[in-house]
Amino acid sequence: MALRHAVLAALLDEELSGYQLAKSFDLGVANFWHALPQQLYAELAKLEADGLVAGREVVQESRPNKRLFKVTDEGLAELERFAAASAKPSMLRDDLAVKVQSSDLVDTAPVIAQLRERATFARAKIELFESLLLKFRKGLGEEEFLRGGERIGPYLTCLGGLVFEQGYLEWCERIAGILEARKSGGRHE
């Protein structure tokens, strides 16, 4: 019952279609919540049935019509309750770390390759987040924006995504280097 709150939080700033929501769960919101498009469509339908979001049809000329959803007052009240309730510990699942954990007993070459790939991905995300942060604060300095800005929620989570990706990037590079060194340099002295 928590995907619903992630969806509500994502819809706070703009009216979005299911399709756009799915995009944003692949980029921005993906920093702290993962979900597939099918789930989002299903969740939007449930949220609408429960009156927490309101949808409206938008007819388009040059592409298929879409339904835009916005959070209702009831939806906001639900978020309010959610924020006040105690949070579950965050949950992480990382294939790559499982591979690193096994890395002495398993061929490291593909693991190193995947670490490098993930590092490249992290660099792209970092760039994206940095440009998003700039966009959010529209020319204001960070201090000033965080003190006086109207809407800082997305900025703060973006900041979180940034530190996460920076940490992950450093880790990937370091681990790849270590495993590489052990492969080429003789291990046991």
Partner DNA sequence: TCATGGTACTCAAGAATCTGACTATTCCTA
Partner DNA sequence: TAGGAATAGTCAGATTCTTGAGTACCATGA
54 is a site residue for its own copies (CB under 8 A): no
Of the pair 49, 87, the CB lying nearest its own copies is at 87
Of the pair 46, 137, the CB lying nearest DNA is at 46
Across the chain, which distance is largest between two alpha carbons, in Å? 70
86 is a site residue for DNA (CB under 7 A): no
Distance, CA of 98 to chain centre: 21
Long-range contacts of 51-57, Cβ-Cβ distance < 8 Å, separation of 24 or more: 51/75, 52/4, 52/8, 52/78, 53/7, 53/8, 53/11
Note whether 138 and 154 are within 8 A (CB).
Answer: no
Distance CA 71, CA 160 (A): 24
103 is a site residue for DNA (CB under 7 A): no
Q: How far is the CB of 165 from its own copies (least distance, A)?
A: 10
Of the pair 63, 138, the CB lying nearest its own copies is at 138
Site stretch for DNA (CB under 7 A), options 31-39, 108-116, 132-140, 175-183: 31-39
Cβ neighbours around 47 below 10 Å, total: 24
Q: Which residue has the tokens 């619903």?
A: 4
Of the pair 24, 166, the CB lying nearest DNA is at 24
119 is a site residue for its own copies (CB under 8 A): no
Judged by CB under 8 A, the residue of 14, 50, 80, 130 near its own copies is: 80
Residues that bind DNA (CB under 7 A): 1-3, 17-20, 23, 34-39, 41-43, 45, 60, 62-67, 88, 91, 93
